[in-house]
Amino acid sequence: MSGEPPVILTCAQPTNQLTLGNYLGAIRNWAQMIEGHTCYFGLVDLHAITSDYTPAELRKNTFDCAAQYLACGLDPERSHIFVQSHVTGHTELAWVLGCITPIGDLQRMTQFKEKAAKLGFSVSDQENELKFAHEGARAQASVNSGLLFYPVLMAADILLYNADVVPTGDDQKQHLELCRDLAKRFNHRYSDTFTIPEPAISKSASRIMSLQEPTKKMSKSDPDPLASIYIIDNPKLIRKKIMSAVTDSGSEIRAANDKPGVTNLMTILGAISGESTDAIEQRFIGKGYGDFKVEVAESVVELLSPIQERYHAYCADKTYVNGVLKAGAEAAQKRAYKTLGKVYRKAGFIERIR
């Protein structure tokens, strides 16, 4: 696989519609990185079933997210857009990698702990043991093994394509570190096989926060209807969400640790306008939260309007979107089979006679 441009692999979970955080922290950068790279952009539906879901919604969200990828500027003529379950190899490689992953490494993952905590469990740092955080937890859904195994599947997504670079938001750092460890461990045990992927965390908006609880990240699956802006929210709803965003005490427009709400809105505005935090602070000296929020809201509406227009056009052309996913899966499969074949040989599996 030499002599080709560096390979990028990155993915999003189709657990709902994509958010402004997904766009500013990730997808916008992916679109800018297409030039000079061979790109694989996945929609990871196998990951999506680790959370509570309904099959009909997953089907709809996967198609919608594909249309949103296109609308956000991921050009299918110059990149490969695919659905994870369409490609054989992700789960196969995950199994092989799982067999060299210490279980403690998975129990230490912050996202696992956070998701387990939401289900009423806690993971003790000393013992790495999953416990009921309180008595009521016993009655709740249990933590499924997929949630624990999630980072191994994510490592497989990356290593299956021998990706050189993985652009993501800040929240995926720990998973990428595990992926690098697993690649090194496999190479050490079986001989050189995987490229060690480099993370590429976006600079300007690596972590967009919830509008209602600005100390936690904006997420697709937040149950609070005002917490996240979805990229297909209509202008009226975007304005409503930003105008009702939590702000902090005082009235200055200033980025500071004790002003997480205002800081988050400044990050959003800066990521859209390209202005520095200082420049925004200067411009708003003597003005109040009202003026500031109106400007943030209008800049988000303006940013998302053309994306929404393209999104609706793609939704009306299902044949086109399905064609993109078909071509993407074929290209992805070709590369995936190459890596999987190599991994199986090294792992000692005998060749199937055809």
Per-residue string for binding with ligand TYM, 97-136, x by CB under 6 A? ----------------------------------------
Residue 272 in the binding site for ligand TYM (CB under 6 A): no
Task: Answer yes or no: are the C-beta atoms of 148 and 161 closer than 8 Å.
Answer: no
Terminal Cα-to-Cα distance of the chain (whole angstroms): 25
Nearer residue to ligand TYM within complex by CB, 110 or 124: 110
Measured over the CA atoms of residue 340, residue 323, residue 310 and residue 35, the dihedral's sign is positive
Nearer residue to ligand TYM within complex by CB, 174 or 193: 174
Of the candidate spans 55-63, 130-138, 169-177, 249-257, the one that interacts with ligand TYM by CB under 6 A turns out to be 169-177
Binding positions for ligand TYM, 45-84, rule CB under 6 A: 47
Residue 21 in the binding site for ligand TYM (CB under 6 A): yes
* Number of amino acids touching ligand TYM (CB under 6 A): 25
Of the candidate spans 154-162, 237-245, 303-311, 334-342, the one that interacts with ligand TYM by CB under 6 A turns out to be 154-162
Q: Which residues are catalytic?
A: 115, 217, 220
Selected from 45, 64, 171, 222, the binder of ligand TYM by CB under 6 A is: 171
Residue 182 in the binding site for ligand TYM (CB under 6 A): no
Selected from 79, 162, 172, 339, the binder of ligand TYM by CB under 6 A is: 172
Residue 245 in the binding site for ligand TYM (CB under 6 A): no
Selected from 38, 62, 68, 168, the binder of ligand TYM by CB under 6 A is: 168
Nearer residue to ligand TYM within complex by CB, 207 or 342: 207
Residue 10 in the binding site for ligand TYM (CB under 6 A): yes
Residue 154 in the binding site for ligand TYM (CB under 6 A): yes
3-state secondary structure the chain: CCCCCCEEEEEECCCCCCEHHHHHHHHHHHHHHCCCCEEEEEECHHHHCCCCCCHHHHHHHHHHHHHHHHHCCCCCCCCEEEEHHHCCCHHHHHHHHHCCCCHHHHHCCHHHHHHHHHCCEEECCCCCCEEECCHHHHHCCCCCHHHHHHHHHHHHHHHCCCCCEEEECHHHHHHHHHHHHHHHHHHHHHCCCCCCCEEEECCCCCCCECCCCCCCECCCCCCCCCCCCECCCCHHHHHHHHHCCCCCCCCCCCCCCCCHHHHHHHHHHHHHHCCCHHHHHHHCCCCCHHHHHHHHHHHHHHHHHHHHHHHHHHHCCHHHHHHHHHHHHHHHHHHHHHHHHHHHHHHCCCCCCC
Residue 166 in the binding site for ligand TYM (CB under 6 A): yes
Residue 89 in the binding site for ligand TYM (CB under 6 A): no
Residue 12 in the binding site for ligand TYM (CB under 6 A): yes
Binding positions for ligand TYM, 190-209, rule CB under 6 A: 205-208
Residues lying near ligand TYM in the complex (CB under 6 A): 9-13, 21-22, 25-26, 44, 47, 154, 157-158, 166, 168-169, 171-172, 205-208, 217-218
